[in-house]
Structure 1
Amino acid sequence: MIAIDKVLISDEVIEAQFVCDLHKCKGGCCEDGDAGAPLMPEEKKMLDENFNVIKPYMTREGLYEIERQGKYLYDREFGWVTPTVNGKICAYGYRDKQGIIKCAIEQACNDGKLEWKKPISCHLYPIKLTKSKEYTMLNYEPRETMCKPACALGKKLKLPVYKFLKDAIVRKFGDDFYDALHQVAIEHFDEQKK
């Protein structure tokens, strides 16, 4: 376990190797789960304020679920989450021509219409963020079957999870945090070589 400020990070975040292989998994993390994407309190506000910008990128089914359930809903286990279509794909998700699930929020951002990329829980995946009263915990939790191609590609490219997720980690915790994590990783691997 690695501790930086009040963040506890599992060793796997620096040891495991992972690179999303969307052509193989088809963005399955956007439809495989017990609820929609977990949302931070400020992300609910972002959805409220920017929904009209996101709306044109959404599917008819996703829009129907937003009308029916709201832009977000409360789940007893996961807290505030995005709604899903028939308990599967996130209401903000859509499939591209290759069958890969993409995010309407992220597409609006990529098109320069929105500064918010997507929920941080999605951006950090396969790192799961949980909070206690004193700490924030970061654990590496890829899906066993669905993420096998990503684990294989990460090993092939020799890219640790934390490096693959640098943008997301910096977005959530800042450059100084990422630099500290990178330094811990360097020291960790130097120690293993001894």
Structure 2
Amino acid sequence: MIIIDKVLISDEAVEEQFVCDLEACKGGCCVDGDAGAPLSEDELPVLDRIYEQVKPYLTPEGVAEIEKQGRHVYEKGFGAVTPTIRHQICVYGIIENGIVKCGIEKAWNEGKTDFKKPLSCHLYPFRISRQDGYEAINYEPREQLCRAACKLGKRLKVPVYRFLKEALIRKYGSAFYEALDTIGRKWKKKT
């Protein structure tokens, strides 16, 4: 277990290798699961604020579900999450060339909004939980869905924390990431 600034980080964060392989998984993490993407309380007003800028990027079915369910919903056991269409694809999901992508992120890429996408999506396959005043980061790829990403990460020799550098800096800041990278480099030398 690694501890940086009251954040507990599983050893797998530096030991395991991972690089998303969208050609293989087709963006299945936006479809697969028991609920939509987890949202922090800070993200709820952001989704309200950016909705009109994001709306043109969404599917008609996604827009209809948002207008019916809201920009976020509460699911027992999960808290605030993005709504889904028939308990499958996220309402913010769009399909391009057979791959599910994020309509919020597409709007961000085109400069229409200042919000990239929900942090839980950006950090995947890391999952964050809270325990006794600490945040805990665990590496939780989906066994079947992420198999190709694990293979690609190994082939490219990219530790999962490095793959998620931008998301980790977004969540915890540059100093946190630099500390984790220093630990990761030392860890690699030991193995």
What TM-score do the two structures reach when normalised by structure 1?
A: 0.96
Aligned to 1:85: 85
The answer to whether residue 42 in structure 2 is matched with residue 13 in structure 1 is no
Measure the CA separation in 1 of the matches of 2:17 and 2:186.
17
Q: Provide Cα deviations, 1:129-160, integer angstroms capped at 9, x if missing partner.
A: 11134110100000000100000100000000
Q: How does 1:128-147 map to 2 (within 5 A)?
A: 128-147=127-146
Question: 1: distance between equivalents of 2:99 and 2:26?
Answer: 4
Q: Distance in 2 between matches of 1:132 and 1:62?
A: 34
Unmatched runs of 5 consecutive residues or more in structure 1: none
Structure 1 consecutive aligned stretches of length 4 or more whose deviation exceeds 4 Å: none
Two-structure CA RMSD over aligned residues (Å): 0.8
1:41-52 correspondence to structure 2 within 5 Å: 41-52=41-52
SS in 1 for 2:61: helix
1:173 matched to 2:181: no
| Correspondence for 1:40 | 40
* Structure 2 SS opposite 1:41: coil
Q: Distance in 1 between matches of 2:154 and 2:184?
A: 16
Shift of 1:3: 0.3
Task: Tell me the TM-score normalized by structure 2.
Answer: 0.98
CA displacement 1:11-64 (0-9 Å, x = unmatched): 001110000000110000000000000001111111111100010001111111
Letter in 2 for 1:81: V
- Return the alpha-carbon distance in structure 1 between the equivalents of residues 44 and 114 of structure 2: 15
Once residues 131 and 52 of structure 2 are traced to their aligned partners in structure 1, the CA distance between those partners, rounded to angstroms, is 34
Between the aligned partners of 2:9 and 2:132, the Cα distance in structure 1 is 16
1:113 aligns with 2:129: no
Q: Percent identity?
A: 55
Residue 186 of structure 1 corresponds to: 185
Query: Which residue identity lines up with residue 60 of structure 2 in the other structure?
Result: R
Q: Which structure 2 segments of 5+ residues have no match?
A: none
Provide the rounded CA distance (Å) in 2 between the counterparts of 1:101 and 1:52.
21
User: How many residues were matched structurally?
Assistant: 191
Q: Which moved more, 1:128-137 or 1:172-181?
A: 128-137
User: Distance between the aligned counterparts of 2:76 and 2:176, measured in 1?
Assistant: 31
